[in-house]
Amino acid sequence: MKVDVLLGLQWGDEGKGKVVDYLAPKYNVVARFQGGPNAGHTLEFDGHKHVLHQIPSGIFRENIKNIIGNGVVLDPVVFKKEIEGLAKFEINLKANLFISKKTQLILPSHKLLDAAYEQSKGKNKIGSTLKGIGPSYQDKIARNGLRVGDILAPGFEERYRNLVSKHENTLKHYEFEYDLAAAEAPFFEAIEFLREFNLVNSEYLINKSIQSSDTVLAEGAQGSLLDIDFGSYPYVTSSNTMTAGACTGLGVAPQNIGEVFGIFKAYCTRVGGGPFPTELFDATGEAIQKEGNEFGATTGRARRCGWLDLPALKYAIMINGVTQLFMMKADVLSILDEIKICTAYKLSDGTITEEMPFQLLDEEVKPIYETLPGWKDDITGVRSMDDMPAALESYIKYIEEATGVPIKIVSVGPDRTQTVIN
Ligand code: GDP
Ligand code: IMO
Ligand code: MG
């Protein structure tokens, strides 16, 4: 069977974790293909609220193989903590969790470099989660990185020391104080812990599933507007967050990609720095932030909020080949009398465009809005499209017509059950 891909179409935190957990029973395999502990995917079910960072969001469902793919960067310390946090759920991790030997490791010194780079950028800082993502991918591309499979071979510690001494040389060029030694004991403890798991050539696992009748769901992290190539560069993450990233991050041939599920919030949020044309700086923005509980699942930072941005959404649909849209957090907009949607941008030279410009700089890109009526109805208990308020149906139709892609799921709350099929 082909591999379905589920990914965020905005700046991350669209609700990917919730939907992967919801859809997981339909799949035999759930696989993460990029990113690392910068991700925070929230799942709510049976009164539990759980945030996953590196472990795929199919882990709470029975009999599903969860794979951490080669495109991921893995922090063993975060991994150990995450696994320990799962203990109360009595999950059979031996049967359900597999890690690619080609997954890159995040070293403690990668986190130091992340912090040093950010500090040196001053007011232009990216707003990184400081989890060592950029420096780890940097080592991968520079062909210096250490991979999960390397921990099984003799000489790992020596290779570690060699790489760390390179990092320390780099750190000398920054005014940055650090204590690496304190972080090393937990790191090596976590490496020992990691050895006990299924460390595999996951591209074979995935491709055997493709050859058989097994179904595979690839779970994206971050969102398309944070993609290293197509996002709001340089305010992006360091991986390809798009469908193509699932091919390289798992070893899946393009013709074996099936459905592409694009997840978006009924509005927009962004955490960290960088341009955000439809950002709201007023009471409406604050109200959305409060109602949507828009605080980061990884860093706890407040998420910036704004209106839905159709040019950006259409761009994300285009580069990902989205076949189905899922609209999240529709319930949050229930507080509003009217809702705006950005339909085009006016550029500083007066041009009106529906295309994403090279740079999304605030002074150059002004959103043009259409205003639609709000529904002002509590929809958190709705489970069928027949019971949706007419104004919400119109909002959905408007987006479907503008994008040409059907909205197949409407999410009306954080719980697994608060999910409506369209
Ligand atoms: P992810 O990174 O894409 O998995 O998303 P996050 O977990 O970082 O952020 C999404 C937040 O919205 C989490 O707190 C979810 O529990 C919550 N959430 C998901 N879907 C809905 C929804 O439909 N309505 C509301 N109110 N909250 C939701
Ligand atoms: P999930 O998977 C939202 C943002 C950071 C920062 C930029 C670079 O939960 O949707 P990095 O740590 O990668 O160097 O940060 O990207 N960012 C996210 N924003 N959701 C995420 O993941 C994010 N992962 C990174 O805030 O602006
Ligand atoms: Mg998140």
Distance 28 CA to ligand 3 centre (A): 24
Distance 17 CA to ligand 2 centre (A): 14
pLDDT score at 238: 98
Q: Among residues 4, 21, 41, 309, which one is catalytic? A: 41
The single-letter DSSP state of residue 301 is P
DSSP 125-169: ------SSHHHHHHHHHTT---BGGGGGSTTHHHHHHHHHHHHHH
Is residue 35 within 8 Å of residue 56, measured between CB atoms? no
Q: Is the CB of 328 under 6 A from ligand 1?
A: yes
Distance 40 CA to ligand 2 centre (A): 9
Residue 23 CA to residue 51 CA, distance in Å, equals 17
Is residue 291 within 8 Å of residue 332, measured between CB atoms? yes
Q: Is the CB of 265 under 6 A from ligand 1?
A: no
Q: Which residues pair with 346 in a beta bridge?
A: 352, 366
Q: Which ligand is nearest to the CA of 39?
A: 2
Q: Is the CB of 44 under 6 A from ligand 1?
A: yes
CA 45 to chain centre: 20
Q: Is the CB of 53 under 6 A from ligand 1?
A: no
pLDDT score at 297: 81
pLDDT score at 383: 98
Q: Is the CB of 273 under 6 A from ligand 1?
A: no
Question: Which one-letter amino acid corresponds to residue 293?
Answer: N
Nearest protein CA to atom 21 of ligand 1, as residue = 414
Distance 349 CA to ligand 2 centre (A): 32
Q: Which ligand is nearest to the CA of 21?
A: 1
**10-residue stretch averages of pLDDT, the chain, 422 residues long:** 97 98 98 98 96 98 97 98 95 95 98 97 95 98 98 97 98 94 97 98 97 97 98 97 98 98 98 96 97 91 97 98 98 98 96 94 89 98 98 98 98 98 96
pLDDT score at 419: 98
pLDDT score at 350: 94
Nearest protein CA to atom 11 of ligand 2, as residue = 128
Protein residues with CB under 6 Å of any ligand 2 atom: 8, 11-13, 35, 38-41, 126-129, 131, 133-134, 221-223, 226, 237, 271-273, 297
Distance 39 CA to ligand 2 centre (A): 6
Instruction: For residue 159, give both structure tokens.
Output: 């290779």
Strands 338-347 and 352-353, bridge-based pairing: antiparallel
pLDDT score at 361: 81
Residues 6+ apart with CB under 8 A from 73: 35, 36, 103, 104, 105, 106, 132, 133, 136, 137, 140, 239
Residue whose CB lies within 8 A of the most ligand 1 atoms, among 129, 131, 328, for a mutation test:
328
pTM: 0.97
Residue 394 CA to residue 390 CA, distance in Å, equals 6
13 catalytic per annotation: yes
Nearest protein CA to atom 23 of ligand 2, as residue = 222
pLDDT score at 141: 98
Residue 111 CA to residue 179 CA, distance in Å, equals 12
Strands 407-411 and 419-421, bridge-based pairing: antiparallel
